[in-house]
Homo-oligomer: A and B are copies of this chain.
């Protein structure tokens, strides 16, 4: 790890990853050993490695796989689910699976084709769908916290996008922990926020974790991927750049950089007339408007 001026053997590296994760969990007050954790598992390396690390550290973490029915010629969702299911089975861990086609009658690509904002790319529909289901299932299962595998590269790419566009609300909200709000949004945490993608990849290889190599076929050409290339170049030229950018952001925010009037938590709570889940706006929530067939031409 050039940014840490550190070289380790395989077992020490795995141990180091666990220590770093534990450090982030404590530093940002993510969760304790007696809290039930739900991990959003995609079948990719980050979420499976997170599950492995939390399990090794003695935390009670179940997995949640959301099958969005993306095929794109590579059976993307089916294969991803298989990696998640096999990981869980080998370690005797509990994996909750939800299929949108089974529960809501359509796949993500199908529903996206009928919406204005999903016509070109289903990514924004995918985001709202996953956020809705993750939150609902975390609440239904009485989990204390929802954990995602976002790593430093992901966080820095989001921060870069929020920064170059100066998105005030997102800047105020971006953090390793998003606290639960009284109305029904659960606590969300990112225990890998200080680990680089190549570090989680190395952990997966060392520990023989089989995962879905392919990126989502819809992510091709995404701005976030372009920004990641730029950020990789900055990291290659200035080792430690990503960590410094992210950590100095968190520190400046903690030191009061932003206007305290900015909404750093969720907006005032409303409840969906249809499903009863929390939502930011009155009436029917975005999820129901998107996935309920009689309004899917929205």
Contacts and interface: CB of A to CB of B under 8 A. Distances in A.
Contacts of A262: 256-257
Contacts of A271: none
Contacts of A245: 164-166
Interface in A263-284: none
A233 B232 CA distance: 14
A89 B274 CA distance: 78
B252 A166 contact: yes
Q: How many copies does the complex hold?
A: 2
A257 B255 contact: no
Contacts of A237: 226
B248 A165 contact: yes
Nearest to A245: B164
A255 B168 contact: yes
Interface residues of A, number: 26
19 contacts: A163-B163, A164-B234, A164-B248, A165-B245, A165-B248, A166-B248, A166-B252, A166-B257, A168-B255, A168-B257, A171-B257, A230-B230, A230-B233, A256-B261, A256-B262, A257-B258, A257-B259, A257-B262, A259-B259
A241 interface: yes
Interface string A206-237: 00000000000000000000100010011001
A58 interface: no
Contact of A259 (B165, B171, B249, B256): B256
A249 to B, nearest CB: 5
Q: Top 9 A-B pairs ranked by shortest CB distance?
A: A166-B252, A166-B248, A168-B257, A256-B259, A164-B245, A166-B249, A168-B252, A259-B259, A163-B163
A189 to B, nearest CB: 22
A260 interface: yes
A244 interface: yes
Nearest to A251: B166
Interface string A165-191: 110100100000000000000000000
Nearest to A259: B256
Contact of A230 (B165, B234, B251): B234
Given A166-B249, A166-B252, A259-B259, 19 more contacts: A163-B163, A164-B241, A164-B248, A165-B244, A165-B245, A166-B245, A166-B257, A168-B252, A168-B255, A226-B237, A230-B233, A230-B234, A256-B259, A256-B262, A257-B258, A257-B262, A258-B258, A258-B259, A259-B260
A172 B22 CA distance: 35
Contacts of A251: 166
Interface in A85-137: none
